[in-house]
A and B are shown apart, each in its own frame.
Chain A
């Protein structure tokens, strides 16, 4: 899956892989790293990663340049992303994380717009329906054949390209916070009602 990913100029600049001592320069550097991480993960459709994977990924390890961002610096970049709302730690040890190139609130807004536009306020969806069985976490679930996919298959709509189930859940939680949706329990799992 060789993507024609366009690396930014910083990626070929050797000092980019050293945490800069000058604070102003460091700010620029971290901003560039955050941007790079998000576009890399978006293009490679990577919604979660472990820190171990990250260390060896071409993202932080430029083999050709013989430079790699040390793990302590990677942690700093990840913390920046977390502060911006694009990253969530999946475990207490901070060994794996969810990476969201669009923040859950932003996804939530798009979802709510779609719901309103298609006149589906006050309708209930099971999470399964929303994802049309594209359950990225559960390999065993049967795939819903194309012909039976309803209008509610969020993850197949072009505007939701790149939205995975874990992020979808957080987007719905964000909507719930704004009282625009409510996550409910249905017979075989979870569902959501939009207001």
Chain B
């Protein structure tokens, strides 16, 4: 093997090729960038026009808001990106979600002692609407999810757990892993879950099922019912449908105040 000859030459060639590619790559990139930049400017102008025309609509109509947000997303614009900045100033969209975020926190605080910091999106929606009163802007579940995602990004301990077609919103950072979440999803149907349910549906061992249920009790998310037919039932206040019709009591409202 003639190391020197092959090595030096090959390396040199390689380097030259790389340099050429790099050059071309740079040229390409610059070109592309210039084009994209032009396009973005155009997009931005159009969007500005659109936004100013439809500002009212955006604030008033939840469906319209969803479509507007989706549109922004496709061109990589986040109207809620920062408190200050073009979009939130332009549309006041940021304010809307900020205020909504505050309302969500209030509802969650008020109900936390009842449900351990876990609430269905439906109940949250109901309570938020109640709090806003008749003449306030309408708020959709989509709005809530967006506001919560913002809260989540701010590090407030919120998380969103998908269950049976809807979502559970966790406002207190409890330690929930996959096993816990899967059991929550199981409980969503009837508001409670049993060891047998878990074994039958998830095919787990008794011990694994028991551990999850113990954890839910420990986190204050579940209550134990020893008078249920057959075996112990573990009920989640967050999923207890009857609770939806309950008003926030005066005590609970007091808890929500700073």
A residues within 8 Å of B by Cβ?
9, 12-18, 20-22, 24-25, 28-29, 66-68
Contact = CB atoms under 8 A, between A and B. Distances in A.
Contacts of A16: 223
Given A12-B242, A13-B240, A21 B235 contact: no
B81 to A, nearest CB: 39
B227 interface: yes
30 contacts: A9-B242, A13-B237, A13-B240, A13-B243, A14-B192, A14-B225, A14-B228, A14-B233, A14-B235, A15-B223, A15-B224, A15-B225, A15-B233, A16-B223, A17-B227, A18-B223, A18-B224, A18-B226, A18-B227, A20-B224, A21-B217, A21-B224, A22-B217, A22-B218, A25-B217, A25-B220, A25-B223, A28-B113, A29-B223, A67-B225
B59 interface: no
A186 B257 CA distance: 53
B173 to A, nearest CB: 16
Contacts of A14: 192, 225, 227-228, 233, 235
Given A9-B242, A15-B223, 12 more contacts: A9-B243, A13-B240, A14-B228, A14-B235, A15-B235, A16-B223, A18-B223, A22-B220, A24-B220, A25-B220, A25-B223, A28-B113
Q: Summarize B's interface: helix, strand, loop or mixed.
A: mixed
Interface string B96-131: 000000000000000001100000000000000000
B46 interface: no
Contacts, number: 48
Interface string B33-55: 00000000000000000000000
B74 interface: no
Given A21-B217, A22-B217, A22-B218, A13 B227 contact: no
B246 interface: yes
Contacts of A29: 223
A17 B226 CA distance: 9
Nearest to B226: A18
A66 B240 contact: no
Nearest to B232: A18
Contacts of B235: 13-15
Contacts of B192: 14
A9 B224 CA distance: 16
Contacts of B242: 9, 12-13
Contacts of B223: 13, 15-16, 18, 20, 25, 29
Contacts of A13: 223, 235, 237, 240, 242-243
B210 to A, nearest CB: 13
Instruction: Please list the 10 inter-chain residue pairs (A to B) with the smallest Cβ-Cβ separation, ordered nearest first.
Output: A15-B223, A15-B225, A18-B226, A14-B225, A9-B246, A22-B217, A15-B235, A67-B227, A18-B225, A25-B220
B227 A66 contact: yes
Interface core residue of B224, B242, B243 (most chain A CB under 10 Å): B224
Contacts of A21: 217, 224
A15 B239 CA distance: 13
Nearest to A9: B246
A29 B114 CA distance: 10
Contacts of B225: 14-15, 17-18, 67
Contacts of A68: 227
Contacts of A25: 217, 220, 223
Contacts of A18: 223-227
B77 to A, nearest CB: 44
